[in-house]
């Protein structure tokens, strides 16, 4: 329920263009050609989302007992 409420909060969606931009620029600094840039950008974006999901889960579990 908390997860659903978090996703519905409009502030969360401000992260989407930021992830897109950061992963594309980071990918472009690692490679020169389009295909490897896009692959790297995808991996970076997934990594960032998973990382934030892990942090969210930890905070969620910690706050459960409060």
Partner 1 sequence: MTSPPLTPEPTLEIDLRDQNLAALLAWLWPGAGHLYQRRYPKGILFMACILGTYFFGLSLGEGKVVYASWNQTERRWQFVPQVAIGLPAAPALVQSVVKRRGGEPLFGGWFAPPRNQAELSEWHNRLNIRFELGTLYTMVAGLLNVLAIWDAYGGPVVGEPAGKERGPPKDDDKDKTT
Q: Pick one of 2, 12, 16, 29: the residue that binds partner 1 (CB under 8 A).
A: 29
Helices (H), 1-66: 2-8, 15-30, 34-64
Residue 43 in the binding site for partner 1 (CB under 8 A): no
- Shortest CA distance to 48 belongs to which of 40, 59, 60, 37? 40
Query: Could you say which residues in the range 2-21 bind partner 1, by CB under 8 A?
Result: 11, 14, 17-18, 20-21
Report yes or no: 59 and 34 within 8 Å, Cβ to Cβ.
Answer: no
Q: How far is the CB of 32 from partner 1 (least distance, A)?
A: 5
Residue 26 in the binding site for partner 1 (CB under 8 A): yes
The tokens of 26 are what?
A: 């980071």
Residue 49 in the binding site for partner 1 (CB under 8 A): no
Residue 32 in the binding site for partner 1 (CB under 8 A): yes
């Amino acid at each position: 329920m908390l997860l659903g409420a978090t996703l519905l909060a409009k502030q969360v969606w401000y992260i989407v263009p930021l992830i897109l931009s950061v992963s594309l620029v980071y990918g472009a600094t690692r490679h020169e050609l389009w295909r490897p840039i896009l692959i790297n950008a995808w991996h970076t974006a997934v990594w960032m989302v998973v990382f934030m999901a892990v942090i969210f889960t930890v905070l969620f579990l910690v706050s459960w007992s409060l």
